[in-house]
A = this chain, B = another copy of it.
Amino acid sequence: MTSSISPAVWRVNLREKSFRREAVPASWERLGGRGLLARILLDEVDPTCDPLGPRNKLILAPGLLVGHMISSTDRISIGAKSPLTGGVKEANAGGRTGLQLALLGVKALIIEEQPTEPGWQLLHLSADGVRFEPADDLAGLGVYDTVPPLLQRYGNKVAIALIGPGGEMRLRTAGIQNLDKDRSPSRISARGGIGAVMGQKGLKAIVIDGSGGAKPSLADPQAFKAAQKEFTQALMAHPQTATYRDYGTAGIVMMCQGFGCLPTRSFRSGQFESAETISGEYMRQVLLQRDGDCETSHACMAGCTIRSSNVYGGPDGKAIVSPLEYETIGLMGSNLGIGDLDTIARLNYEVNDLGLDSIEIGAALGVAAEAGLMEFGDGERAMQLLKEIRRNTPLGHILGNGPAIAGQVLGVERVPVVKNQAISAYDPRTIKGTGVTYATSPQGADHTAGLTIRAKVNHLDPAGQVELSRKAQINMAGYDTLGACIFAGFGYAAAPHTIPALLKARYGWDAPADALQALGRETLKLEREFNRRAGFTAAHDRLPEWMTREPLPPMNAVFDVPPEEMDQLFNW
């Protein structure tokens, strides 16, 4: 079952239409996923280059542990210099892409330059290498309509990473979608506009056929199996695993309501009067009642035991969108004053089909509401504004480029962004550790870079939040380098020795007990260095000024972690 294919760097040049396999440089070997992206960007991409110019590179790298269907640990990292933040960018997702690349022995796929001719093409990866194929017939199609003809052409077993109309329009909120295990393009490497980089390179899709490959070789298959088993048991024993299985990420809505951090009406309040009808508990009742296509629990990757995903169906039981997740509920629900899950699901489908980041678009619609372009709570109007994006109108371009640009263009000061990237669904004034993460992460505002809400601390007290964020950021950078889902952390945290055990069994390395943190620290250091060279300074590691002076009801908290303390976060 294990492979004789040796891991390689696959390099594609779109100007030359060339492909070659290269040996993995020694300094890249012990990295994967997010850490490897940072290393490659630092080694190969001028940090001052135009992110939508030919010198930027689009890079796909499976995490270090990807390829053996360890539960929730087959994620793909996709990155580039971000057109949204201007800095380093990694966006990871579940689905099939990571596994299929690992089967082909792809340590990293590096896509360089851009075509000399206009038009759309796709890359087809298999054990035979890379083929360039025309894709003009797919131009303008939403992601859901793009997949069926591709599966017909390339077979049902391929993985696909693709962009929607948003990426084709080079919108800075465009992500790259990945097929899930059921072949729905619902796993989005969402953040930082990497879909625009793919669009700029004239690539509509990357199709990966791992059928001629094999699982990555193992240094010690027995030990690997044992560690994998122990991890899975630890994960399944964790109480949060059951919560996420039953309620998905939406299970956190009422907790956020309680903390007063649920973004409501463009971050004007931390509690929403209709929080209950957008909660995970309510959603579960609705889905159980509606039946049909509805699923309260659904896996995005083969082998996942958490199954935090879901299929949200309408009153007729027909699927509207899958999954419906907390960040979307927060940003496109309460943040827009919308308390109806059916409406949120329809907005979510539209954003997905366009291939855009629902966090950015939700925040941008909030800015539009601040500018008077819609009333809070008006789901119909919100949908009309999304149609403006699809119709490629000036207003659509304003919103489709995210809240930072929308705020600048529409003259709205209250814009929830850091490094131009939208703050996600935990208001930093009441969850201050996550606020520190938003402010200081090299990725820009991003809850997945170090969420602190589950820590048993007073989240309103500025003291100790830097340390809390530091630990969370190091751990998350480590997980993102392994290819582990944020929720796999429940298991790894309960059985931390399984991480060095898995690394040793797979690669033969003598990984230290704190291998996770060592990888995390290295990754953050590389990312910070890229950003430094791109022109970032401490002045950019700040929340929006208005969040430091506008108290958030009902807790009436402002963000007051001292900047000079945040500036010490990376001095560990």
B-contact bits for A34-61, CB 8 A (1 contact / 0 none) = 0000000000000111101101000000
Q: Which residues of B contact A397 (CB under 8 A)?
A: 398, 409-411
Smallest Cβ-Cβ distance to A196: which chain B residue: B411
CB distance from A166 to the nearest CB of B (A): 11
**Residues A411 and B170 in contact in the complex (CB < 8 Å), given A48-B542, A395-B394, A398-B398:** yes
Q: Of A11-19, A258-266, A292-300, A528-536, which stretch is located at the interface?
A: A528-536
Q: Which residues of B contact A170 (CB under 8 A)?
A: 411
Chain B CB within 8 A of A544 CB: yes
Chain B CB within 8 A of A172 CB: yes
Query: Could you tell me the distance between the alpha carbons of A545 and B50 in the complex, rounded to whole angstroms?
Result: 6
Query: Could you tell me the distance between the alpha carbons of A406 and B85 in the complex, rounded to whole angstroms?
Result: 17
Looking at A55, A393, A534, A535, which has the most chain B CB atoms within 10 Å of its CB?
Answer: A535
B48 and A539 form a contact (CB under 8 A): yes
CB distance from A227 to the nearest CB of B (A): 44
CB distance from A36 to the nearest CB of B (A): 24
CB distance from A236 to the nearest CB of B (A): 46
B409 and A52 form a contact (CB under 8 A): no
Query: Could you tell me the distance between the alpha carbons of A540 and B47 in the complex, rounded to whole angstroms?
Result: 11
Interface residues on A, range: 35 or more
Smallest Cβ-Cβ distance to A533: which chain B residue: B539
Chain B CB within 8 A of A509 CB: no
A53 and B394 form a contact (CB under 8 A): no
Q: Which residues of B contact A536 (CB under 8 A)?
A: 535, 537
Q: Which residues of B contact A50 (CB under 8 A)?
A: 413, 544-546
A539 and B47 form a contact (CB under 8 A): yes
Chain B CB within 8 A of A169 CB: yes
- In-complex Cβ contact of A52 among B413, B537, B540 (8 A): B413
Chain B CB within 8 A of A6 CB: no
Q: Which residues of B contact A408 (CB under 8 A)?
A: 172, 401, 405
Query: Could you tell me the distance between the alpha carbons of A405 and B540 in the complex, rounded to whole angstroms?
Result: 19
**Residues A409 and B409 in contact in the complex (CB < 8 Å), given A535-B536, A544-B50:** yes
Smallest Cβ-Cβ distance to A47: which chain B residue: B539
B545 and A534 form a contact (CB under 8 A): no
B-contact bits for A514-553, CB 8 A (1 contact / 0 none) = 0000000000000000000111111110101110000000
Smallest Cβ-Cβ distance to A540: which chain B residue: B535
CB distance from A367 to the nearest CB of B (A): 12
Query: Could you tell me the distance between the alpha carbons of A405 and B544 in the complex, rounded to whole angstroms?
Result: 19
Query: Could you tell me the distance between the alpha carbons of A535 and B537 in the complex, rounded to whole angstroms?
Result: 5
**Residues A394 and B398 in contact in the complex (CB < 8 Å), given A50-B413, A544-B50:** yes
A539 and B534 form a contact (CB under 8 A): yes
A residues sitting closer than 8 Å to B (CB atoms) are: 47-50, 52-53, 55, 169-172, 393-395, 397-398, 401, 405, 408-411, 413, 533-540, 542, 544-546
A selection of 9 A-B contacts at a CB cut-off of 8 Å is: A48-B539, A53-B413, A170-B411, A393-B394, A394-B409, A397-B398, A401-B408, A534-B539, A535-B540
Instruction: Name 4 extra pairs, CB < 8 A, besides A50-B544, A171-B411, A405-B405.
Output: A50-B413, A50-B546, A397-B411, A535-B536
